[in-house]
Amino acid sequence: MILEEGEQQWLIGLTPQAEQIFKVKPPENWSFYYLSKHTNINTAVVCISELERFDWFFGIDPKDGALAPLNRAY
């Protein structure tokens, strides 16, 4: 789930019982855009860059919410 609190965005991971697993901010100079699937990883988020020209897929580690850049989103 992507949550906006004022100027701050959060990516929040929940269990099926609605218990919070993680709460992470977007990578520096990026904003969360939408959740998605990716061919290389089950769960991903597409982010919009404040500096780059293209949107980008980031893989989400379901254990701790760590974000790993994957590739450009089309």
pLDDT in tens, 20-32: 999 999 999 999 9
The DSSP output letter for 41 is: S
Residues 6 or more apart in contact with residue 64 via CB below 8 angstroms? 21, 22
- Which segments within the chain are labelled E, that is strand? 2-5, 8-14, 20-24, 30-36, 44-49, 56-60, 67-72
How far, in whole angstroms, is CA 70 from its chain's centroid? 11
Q: pTM higher than 0.85 for the full model?
A: yes
Confidence of residue 37 (pLDDT cuts 50, 70, 90): confident
Measure the CA angle with vertex 16, ends 62 and 28; round to 5°. 35
